[in-house]
Amino acid sequence: EAGVTQFPSHSVIEKGQTVTLRCDPISGHDNLYWYRRVMGKEIKFLLHFVKESKQDESGMPNNRFLAERTGGTYSTLKVQPAELEDSGVYFCASSQLPGGSYEQYFGPGTRLTVT
Amino acid sequence: SQKIEQNSEALNIQEGKTATLTCNYTNYSPAYLQWYRQDPGRGPVFLLLIRENEKEKRKERLKVTFDTTLKQSLFHITASQPADSATYLCALVSSGGYNKLIFGAGTRLAVHP
């Protein structure tokens, strides 16, 4: 069974540009999460999809970030326009069932560098 | 304010010894607490989960304890091996935020032959 995959693995963009990150969850996992780790800090929650619906987007930093999950399969996270403080590693995770009693399977992350 | 604290200093131990990592939290009421392992350049990998009404959980060489009075979880690796070297993350699931994981900063463990 394939794990969670993320693309690209690394992206370097200039301030003001747009970047789109992609996540493919494990097949059959309705729950998809985005997290990020900025330099020196802990991993922080961004949002949670159940199928194509946003269940919780309380962690999204501002309206420059837009997440979608059309059709309830893969998800994209767009940052537009990118700022220097958006640099970090963006992780996607999926789980078969929701709730904290179930493990989340993480992808390898996308390292975003904004210069 | 709400905080999750893990030892920021790396933990260095000798192969064969027991590693003990600490996770302390304040102003949370976690329904669950999970431990993950993270290797450089990779995403976290789930290890163990413990519920608020459980005191201890074991899996092979791993043991987790959860003390809601002390607001602390301890993570033990017995008979440690160099392959256990990694960063270990604790993550809370708050009773108010049922699905999202709230991570500590992690503790780096180095097991020396």
Q: Does the pLDDT at position B58 exceed 80?
A: yes
- Tell whether A104 lies on the interface with B, counting CB pairs under 8 A: yes
Q: Is B43 on the interface with A (CB under 8 A)?
A: yes
- What does the H/E/C string look like for A59-104? CCCCCCEEEECHHHCCEEEEECCCCHHHCEEEEEEEECCCCCCCCC
The pLDDT score that the predictor gives to residue B93 is: 86
| pLDDT over 90 at B95, yes or no | no
**Cα end-to-end distance, chain A, whole Å:** 37
A103 vs B: CB within 8 A: yes
pLDDT at B86: 98
pLDDT of residue B42: 96
Please check whether residue A96 touches B, CB under 8 A. no
Low-confidence residues in chain A, pLDDT < 50: none
Å between A8 CA and nearest CA of chain B: 13
Cβ-contact B99, A102 below 8 angstroms: no
Per-residue model confidence (pLDDT) at position A78: 98
Distance CA B67, CA B72 (A): 5
**pLDDT at residue B99 is higher than 80:** no
Model pLDDT for residues B7-45, shown as the tens digit of each residue: 878 999 999 999 999 999 998 888 889 999 999 999 999
B 57-96 residues inside an 8 A Cβ radius of A: 89, 93
Closest CA to A75 of A56, A100, A48: A48
Q: For residue B97, what are its two tokens? A: 């935020």
User: Looking at residue A102, what is its pLDDT?
Assistant: 82
